[in-house]
Amino acid sequence: MPRKFIVGGNFKLNGSQSSLKTLVEGLNQGNLDSNVEIVVSPPFVYLDQVRKAVRKDVAVAGQNCYSKSSGAFTGEVAPEMLKDIGIEWVILGHSERREIFKEADDEIGLKVAHALKAGLKVMACIGEKLEEREADKTTEVVVRQLAAIAKHVSDWTNVVIAYEPVWAIGTGKVATPDQAQEVHKNIRAWLKENVSAEVAEATRIMYGGSVNGGNAATLAKEEDIDGFLVGGASLKPEFVTICNAKAKM
């Protein structure tokens, strides 16, 4: 079966009740491609507001969660809590979590496993830094991060991989379609060799890294790019254009 295109909007640490009300109204009024799965991810404190206000064909994701269900873990949010308020998705392993908050590969793998067990769908992020790409270590880094997730996953049905080259996140630099396709193809080949051909064929691989309304349609043409995880542009009206990028083909 063809893989359904998916677009995620990661609002990061941005927004207010007022600004997110306006953003959601824009989505609700937008002419969105019905063949695309769309997920938006506001900060934790606005999850319930957005979930209740956004159109029913747009899902909502947490930007992170912990690997425990409860306990003395001040400041953390359990995946069960996200499920309890009707959240369907969570983003895990984002480069900002890895770099700023020092989340290690295996910790991210444990988070993915627990989120899946709790019934959430997961966008699992991987990607290399600029110095790693320049040292020809892109595949090595991406495979290391992916393997740390894969060893904790027995059922890939609810996992989407998000390849986000760190050097392209929020910098205005974008991997060329050929660069992105090459890494996506290598990810799929690794899944085929190390998990199964069925999982490799079925698992969606998103691209993230300065995706905008101007470059989305070109990137969407690549065979192994199954969607986008969008940062800054998800806060702008052009997010609707990105969501409809596949329809332009």
The residues assigned a catalytic role are 94, 164
Phi then psi dihedrals of residue 126, to 5 deg: -140, 160
CB atoms within 10 A of CB 92: 31
Tokens of 218: 């070109």
Taken as a whole, the chain contains a residue count of 249
Element (H, E) at 146: helix 138-150
Return d(Cα 185, Cα 194) in angstroms, integer: 14
- Is the CB of residue 208 less than 8 Å from the CB of residue 230? yes
Tokens of 100: 């700023």
Tokens of 47: 């999850």
Element (H, E) at 40: strand 37-41
Tokens of 194: 């190390």
